[in-house]
Amino acid sequence: MVATVEKPWGLFLGYLILGVTGSRASDTSSQIVNGEDCSPHSQPWQAALFMENEFFCAGVLVHPQWVLSAAHCFQDSYTIGLGLHNLEARQEPGSRMLEANLSIRHPEYNKPLLANDLMLIKLNELVTPSDTIRDISVASLCPTAGDSCLVSGWGLLVNGRLPTVLQCVNVSVVSEDECRELYDPVYHPSMLCAGGGQDQKDACNGDSGGPLICNESLHGLVSFGQDQCGQVGVPGVYTNLCKFTDWIQKTIQAS
């Protein structure tokens, strides 16, 4: 995978391959970098997407029957884990494993490249809120530069080992101008940059579809970044969900 912003096509091609098909055991670029164990069930909206019993992407419960994730995680069907803290203990108390056979990608996904990277997945049954499973509202106002946000996921750690429990890391929102400059010419208004600080905290493509929580609302989904995570001055890119509140609401209501 190309690891320079100046060569985005190679970078994104590698990202797409790893983000969608890379297993957690082999994709060493997938990692929450310099984070820590989340407090158990502190992110009750966190979803894990499985295909043939293998975890491959994350998601966010935004409605009792709908999970939001990155469009590049699209599959024909999914098993969705909710209420999980330890990914290897799928029958832990308070967790649910649910099937889903309908997912709707944003109609403008990948138009242009990697823009509008979101989809909705409809669970085959409604979920009853509990201490370990709860949906979260999507922010209608866009975040501002400097806002502190939390990202969570089960990607590989920076040391290449698998975490046993959900990882959390705080990153700061980068200004739209800086995001555009760093990711020119592929920057699109549907994108949001966060991270890239001196603390080298970051998320990577193995955490694709996972939540970016700012001010107690869902502001973003992990979308893409460079293969070497946690580089100073190089933030990760997230889907900027404040731009999609109408589409999310209308899609849920229509389906």
- Residues 127, 163: Cα–Cα separation, whole Å: 27
Query: 3 pLDDT exceeds 80?
Result: no
Query: 28 pLDDT exceeds 60?
Result: no
pTM listed for this prediction = 0.86
Q: State the pLDDT at residue 15.
A: 41
Look at 9-13, 87-91, 184-188, 199-203 and tell me which has the smallest mean pLDDT.
9-13
Question: What is the set of domains in the chain, with CATH numbers?
Answer: 46-254 (2.40.10.10)
Q: How large is the greatest C-alpha to C-alpha distance in the chain, in angstroms?
A: 47
Of 12, 72, 31, nearest to 202 (Cα)?
Answer: 31
Is the CB of residue 106 less than 8 Å from the CB of residue 251? no
- Residues 79, 76: Cα–Cα separation, whole Å: 11
Question: Quick one: what percent of the chain has pLDDT higher than 90?
Answer: 66
DSSP assignments along 19-87, one per residue:
HHH--TTT-TT---BS-EEPPTTS-TTEEEEEETTEEEEEEEEEETTEEEE-GGG--S-EEEEES-SBT
Query: 89 pLDDT exceeds 90?
Result: no
| Higher per-residue pLDDT: 164 or 212 | 212
Residues tagged active-site = 72, 117, 208
pLDDT tens sequence across 220-253: 999 998 777 767 778 999 999 999 999 999 999 9
Residue 122, beta-bridge partner list? 66, 102
Q: State the pLDDT at residue 22.
A: 31
